[in-house]
């Protein structure tokens, strides 16, 4: 298996089937051994100077990343060093024009690198298609550019550092080891959360103390994240692939199940990664940003985006939407800002028109809320009650249905594929097909949603401190057994590795 997926403009949005390899994936056999070694070395240096612990984190992070392909270590190191020194200079300068020039250098180099690796093939292919449609015969090369894993995440992380220094929200650090460790911190390096320097960098500049309570909760969150990934997401992936590939012979019920399965697959895959990352960081005394807050229980699309990929949503809010003028402008300008922000967010996910339309569609969903001046709820649904009210249930169902439609574009290989998939579902609602094969997947989805519903006011589903000992340990053991019996350990990458 290649160490990086080669993305061509022909099929950049595919979700590939099972892959295997020697990399240190969270769901691999190698990761527990790697984690144990780093854990022992790290806490063995707890009485040494702080620099020693940070050096261990940095070395472990570069080993973790270099295991994918050592050639791209230079890329992350170069990006980190550039923003480290530019941050010092931006803070030092008082002349506005020089400060802007330094910030522009950071933006140009970081976004330029991202554009080359992630989007150049897309633009070349789109240009070729446009010229062909005009009757011309372009002789443009077909590009197959290796996409460095995690580049979208650590690029945004370092960019926020220089931008916040420019805005005088934070001061730069002179601890180069601590800064490099902050950028490359291995639990969240490959797929986030996208950490702000204001939140995570100070944790590298003070001594950490081992906290047994925090470590235990970290292990529980790792367990839950692993369950979501290897038991739910990986078992659903085959059926999702079969339904999306064979949609032309299926009916609306089966296609709805396919969209439902993908919604749960991508949620369990990505939030599972975030849970493992957050839990692993807690073992080392760090607190990472919460990235998911049970988003499928949202009552409108605004609440959904406050609960889904929180670190990215807030990044685009603070560094794209607000600089465009945010909500301070006219209605037309606010609509423009919403559409731009969501469309750019879609494009961040990949060089494919399907992602752009997915982002645009979510932006269109959001506009009615903005026009009605309706703020997303800031409390969990059905607070203090076992079941939601009828209005809450209807609101959640509508929001989830809109989300499913958007997910079809996200998962499809092309716009034509997505439109035909949706049209097939509407035009052939029921053909009396045998749906018995989808039973296990539907049961798994129901169990997952039920567990998360009961824990919707917690940080994760295995936060069971309020539960008595026997039921609590029965749940832990049951989840662990499910991982070993039904899990696909070490079999597949996480979906967001390709973004």
The C-alpha R_g of the chain, in whole angstroms, comes to: 23
Burial zone of 86 (CB within 10 Å; 0-12 exposed, 13-18 middle, 19+ buried): buried
Residue 97 phi, psi dihedral angles, 5° rounding? -65, -40
Phi, psi of 171, deg, nearest 5: -105, 150
Whether 26 contacts 273, CB under 8 Å: yes
Cβ partners under 8 Å of residue 13, min gap 6 = 350, 352, 354, 355, 412, 413, 414
Tell me if residue 349 is catalytic: yes
| Separation in Å, CA 169 to CA 164, 272, 316 | 5, 32, 17
- Angle between helices 176-184 and 50-66 in degrees, nearest 10: 40
Query: Residue 360 in contact with residue 343, Cβ under 8 Å?
Result: yes
> Could you tell me how many residues make up the chain?
499
Could you tell me the two tokens for 393?
């249930």
Per-residue 3-state assignment (H helix, E strand, C coil) for 139-183: CCCCCEEECCCCHHHHHHHHHHHHHHHHCCCCCCCCCHHHHHHHH
List the catalytic residue out of 91, 144, 349, 417: 349
The residues, any chain, with a CB within 8 Å of residue 400's CB and separated by 6 or more, are: 263, 296, 298
Six token digits for residue 180:
């490099």
- Cα angle, residue 189 at apex, residues 143 and 66 outer, rounded to 5°: 65
**CB 130, CB 82: distance < 8 Å:** no
Report, as residue numbers or ranges, the catalytic residues.
Answer: 349
């Amino acid at each position: 298996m290649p160490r990086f997926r080669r993305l061509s403009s022909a099929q950049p949005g595919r979700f590939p089937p099972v892959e295997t390899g020697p990399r240190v994936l969270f769901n691999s056999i190698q990761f527990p051994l790697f984690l144990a070694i780093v854990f022992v070395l790290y806490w063995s240096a707890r009485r040494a100077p702080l620099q020693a612990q940070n050096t261990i984190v940095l070395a472990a992070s570069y080993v973790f990343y270099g295991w994918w392909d050592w050639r791209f270590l230079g890329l992350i190191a170069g990006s980190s060093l550039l923003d480290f020194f530019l941050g010092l200079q931006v803070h030092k300068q008082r002349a506005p024009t020089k400060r802007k020039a330094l910030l522009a250098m950071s933006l140009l180099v970081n976004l330029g690198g991202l554009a080359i690796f992630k989007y150049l093939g897309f633009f070349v292919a789109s240009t070729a298609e446009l010229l062909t449609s005009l009757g011309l015969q372009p002789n443009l090369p077909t590009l197959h550019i290796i996409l460095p894993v995690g580049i979208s995440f650590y690029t945004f992380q370092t960019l926020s550092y220089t931008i916040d220094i420019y805005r005088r929200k934070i001061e730069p650090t002179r601890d180069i080891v601590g800064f490099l460790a902050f950028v490359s911190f291995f639990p969240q390096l490959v797929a986030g959360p996208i950490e702000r320097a204001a939140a995570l960098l100070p944790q590298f500049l003070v001594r950490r103390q081992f906290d047994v309570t925090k470590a235990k909760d970290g292990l529980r969150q790792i367990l839950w994240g692993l369950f979501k990934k290897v038991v739910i997401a990986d078992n659903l992936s085959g059926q999702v692939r079969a339904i999306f590939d064979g949609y032309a012979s299926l009916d609306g019920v089966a296609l709805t199940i396919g969209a439902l399965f993908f919604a749960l697959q991508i949620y369990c895959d990505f939030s599972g990664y975030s849970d493992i990352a957050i839990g692993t960081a807690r073992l080392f005394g760090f607190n990472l940003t919460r990235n998911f807050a049970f988003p499928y229980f949202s009552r409108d699309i605004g609440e959904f985006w406050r609960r889904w990929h929180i670190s990215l949503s807030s990044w685009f809010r603070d560094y794209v939407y607000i600089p465009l003028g945010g909500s301070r402008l006219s209605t037309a300008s606010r609509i423009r800002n919403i559409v731009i922000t969501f469309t750019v967010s879609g494009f961040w996910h990949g060089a494919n028109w399907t992602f752009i339309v997915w982002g645009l569609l979510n932006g269109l969903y959001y506009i009615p809320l903005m026009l009605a001046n309706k703020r997303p709820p800031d409390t969990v649904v059905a607070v203090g009650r076992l079941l939601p009210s009828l209005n809450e249930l209807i609101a959640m169902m509508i929001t989830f249905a809109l989300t499913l439609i958007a997910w079809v574009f996200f998962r499809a290989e092309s716009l034509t594929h997505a439109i035909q998939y949706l049209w097939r579902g509407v035009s052939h609602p029921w053909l009396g097909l045998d749906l018995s094969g989808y039973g296990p997947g539907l049961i798994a989805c129901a169990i997952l949603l039920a567990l998360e519903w009961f824990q919707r006011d917690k940080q994760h589903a295995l936060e069971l401190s309020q539960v008595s000992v026997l039921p609590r340990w029965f749940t832990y053991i049951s989840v662990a057994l499910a991982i070993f019996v039904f899990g696909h350990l070490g079999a597949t990458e996480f979906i967001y590795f390709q973004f």
